[in-house]
Structure 1
């Protein structure tokens, strides 16, 4: 039977032997030590963190309160930066929309100005062409008053009054002065009645 036990011991896995012989007893001893120090009033967790930060490999696994604050501050800064980026993007989109609106309005203004210019040119062309009445009355100004008075006497009364309206007071006086008195009186009466 003792041979059987020895054979079984030889067959036993060396990993299990290491686990039961070393790891479990060390874990139990550490746990008891932590409990005893905690009851005694020693802050074992902070002491372990402090000592663990001095060990190169373990220090990367342990986070201290300062590191936690730094990490939280980094997260806040990152979040603030993301919010600012989103706000910048939104403002840029609004700027693009407003720029498009400005361009549309400028095009509309240009169309309206072109339309207005075309209308003004059309009206200017019409206004630049003097009426035949104005042309004739200008001719009477340049004529000899005796000759112009003779022509006016032979015209229709309404036409004569229309021409008299277009000439200046001085020319009108000269023309009426050169006419026969009856015809001058008749044209003057018509002239006055059409003014009211």
Structure 2
């Protein structure tokens, strides 16, 4: 029985082997020899095959030309830039929200100070409380990053900003004014000088 099974398997394999030996291998050898002959003759076979394959409807999806590869690289580069810009926008938005929160907090403290000043019958107590708050706020500004402190001072009313600047040391005041926009820094410096006179 086993001999019959082996004979059947040999008969089944024979047509497959015959097909490979008689058709596939000679075709591969002929294509290879033709490609070598054209290459020796100076024809760029690879580019010709890409261009020809690119015109065939089903095959063109499998072949990538140099232009398509460059377009893919450009698209990937643009996508990377968009992602980095989106991340930058998100971080700036978060920073803006934080600064607006600090400004709101400072404005609330200013309103409290103004309300205390209006309601207080004793101007001396009011000025002491205000100066204490201004001292507290100026010490808070000293602890902050110069750029962030400058952004906050830029948004304050002139009188409040000058009061805060008076409480700062020359070094801290200079660093904060340096971090501000030039016009606003010049305006506050002028008010600061006028308030000393």
TM range (shorter): 0.5 to 0.7
CA distance 1:115–1:40, shift in 2 (3 Å)? same
8 Å contact kept, 2:117–2:123 = no
Give CA-to-partner distance per residue, 1:31-68, whole Å, 9 cap, x none.
11111111111100010011111100111111112212
Secondary structure of the residue aligned to 2:121 is helix
Aligned position for 2:112: 111
Structure 2 residue 27 is matched with structure 1 residue 31: no
| Structure 1 residues 11 and 69: CA distance shift in structure 2, 3 A | closer
SS of equivalent to 2:58: helix
Question: Is 1:73 aligned to residue 74 of structure 2?
Answer: yes
Separation of aligned partners in 2, 1:114 and 1:15: 100
Q: Distance in 2 between matches of 1:89 and 1:95?
A: 10
Q: Aligned Cα RMSD in Å?
A: 2.5
In 2, Cα distance between equivalents of 1:57 and 1:44 = 20
**Residues 114, 61 of structure 1: alpha-carbon distance in 2 compared, 3 angstrom cutoff:** same
Provide the rounded CA distance (Å) in 1 between the counterparts of 2:91 and 2:78: 20
Change (3 A) 1:11 1:68: closer
Query: How far did 1:91 drift?
Result: 0.9
The unaligned stretches of length 5 or more in structure 2 are 125-197
Question: SS in structure 1 opposite 2:43?
Answer: coil
Q: 1:97 to 1:13 in 2, by over 3 A?
A: farther
Give, in whole Å, the separation in 1 of the partners of 2:12 and 2:79.
Answer: 58
* Other-structure match for 2:100: 99
**TM superposition score normalised by structure 2:** 0.53
TM-score by length of 1: 0.54
The structural deviation recorded for 1:20 is 3.0
How many residue pairs align between the two structures? 119
Instruction: Give the structure 2 partner of residue 89 of structure 1.
Output: 90
Structure 1 residue runs of 4 or more that deviate by more than 6 Å after TM superposition = none
Cα distance in structure 1, aligned partners of 2:97 and 2:18: 74
Do structure 1's residue 49 and structure 2's residue 50 form an aligned pair?
yes
SS in 2 for 1:56: coil
Q: What does residue 120 of structure 1 align with?
A: 121
Q: Measure the CA separation in 2 of the matches of 1:32 and 1:71.
A: 34
Q: Deviations over 1:130-153 (max 9, x none)?
A: xxxxxxxxxxxxxxxxxxxxxxxx
Query: In structure 2, do the counterparts of structure 1 residues 63 and 11 end up closer, same or farther at CA, with 3 Å as the change threshold?
Result: closer
Indicate if the aligned counterparts of 2:50 and 2:63 stay in contact, CA closer than 8 A.
yes
Structure 1 stretches lacking a partner, 5+ long: 124-196
